[in-house]
Amino acid sequence: MFEKIGAFVISKIHTFWYGIGYVGRVLSCSVRFFSHGKPSRKIFVMQLLFTYIEALPIVILLGLALGSVIYIVGYPFLLNIGQTSLIYEMLVIVISRELGPILVSLVVTARSANAISTEIGSMVADHEIESYVSVGVDPVEHIVAPRFLGVTASVFLLNLYFSFAGLLAPSVIVQLVNPVSFHEYFLGLLQTLTVRTILVSCIKSILFGMVISICSTYYGFKVERASTEVPVVGIKAVGKSMLFIIIVDVVVTAASYL
């Protein structure tokens, strides 16, 4: 039994250090991408297309819906306790700082984490990765780095659009619930929106993008030989991405309130 526990602990330590090494390699290859990434630029552009452009409508719709709901539900409640001025703070905190980055990253996880891990997994099973190695192409540099940069940039951009949509939608809804001029509404928002809030939102979205791309590519390479392993790594990539997003969110949120 002790032997089994020992073997388990050793394998977990190995996995941990391998993971750390993988993250380091992805980061260094992503830096190199800007100077040596010409053959991989198309992959980067395609990743932006699939993760950013194609997810844009759903993210904007989500932002509009959430912004409207927060205003419709929140305003009467704040009116009852005589704190209507807090509606702007509520919108900014929920939409831009807390819910925006996490919702966007969950949409991206659902759409892209599975797609990336299964694509890479299939490439491993079909010996395409070995084929890259044989011609002198570093798989991390050619396959992972453009996806890492593409997904990270996508989550960052989608989060911006989500925030814009989420903060814009109530400006229309407000006319139905509590008619105030657009000027007054946006002035209230701008007075609440601080650089710190924007910074926290941006940091979260960038970190979440990094988490999604690293988890999905890492698990993609976990396929060893059979194509039956491919859907398994897809599920693992989505699950681990969500887990690490929540952990990173808790850490960044806690740090931002210190």
The contact set with another protein (CB under 8 A) reads 38-39, 119, 122-123, 126-128, 130-137, 224
Q: Which is nearer to another protein, 37 or 166 (CB)?
A: 37
Radius of gyration of the chain (CA): 22
Residues near 116 by beta carbon (within 8 Å), at least 6 away in sequence: 147, 151, 213, 216, 217, 220, 237
List the one residue out of 123, 112, 128, 122 whose CA is nearest residue 228.
Answer: 122
Q: Which is nearer to another protein, 82 or 136 (CB)?
A: 136
CB of 88 to another protein, least distance (A): 47
Q: Which is nearer to another protein, 60 or 140 (CB)?
A: 140
CB of 149 to another protein, least distance (A): 18
E strand spans, the chain: none
CB of 33 to another protein, least distance (A): 14
CB of 214 to another protein, least distance (A): 21
Q: How far apart are CA 156 and CA 220, in angstroms?
A: 23
Q: State the CB neighbour count (10 A cutoff) for residue 142.
A: 18
- Length of the chain measured in residues: 258
Q: Which is nearer to another protein, 92 or 124 (CB)?
A: 124
Q: Is there a contact between 162 and 100 (Cβ–Cβ < 8 Å)?
A: yes
CB of 225 to another protein, least distance (A): 8
Q: Which is nearer to another protein, 136 or 179 (CB)?
A: 136
Determine phi and psi for 135, rounding to 5 degrees.
Answer: -95, 5
Q: Is there a contact between 101 and 166 (Cβ–Cβ < 8 Å)?
A: no
Q: How far apart are CA 217 and CA 37, in angstroms?
A: 18
Q: Which is nearer to another protein, 19 or 39 (CB)?
A: 39
Q: How far is CA 116 from CA 88, 107, 217, 248, in A?
A: 38, 14, 6, 21
CB of 73 to another protein, least distance (A): 45
Q: Which is nearer to another protein, 92 or 223 (CB)?
A: 223
Place of tokens 């740090």: 255
What three-state secondary structure class fits 196? helix
CB of 67 to another protein, least distance (A): 38
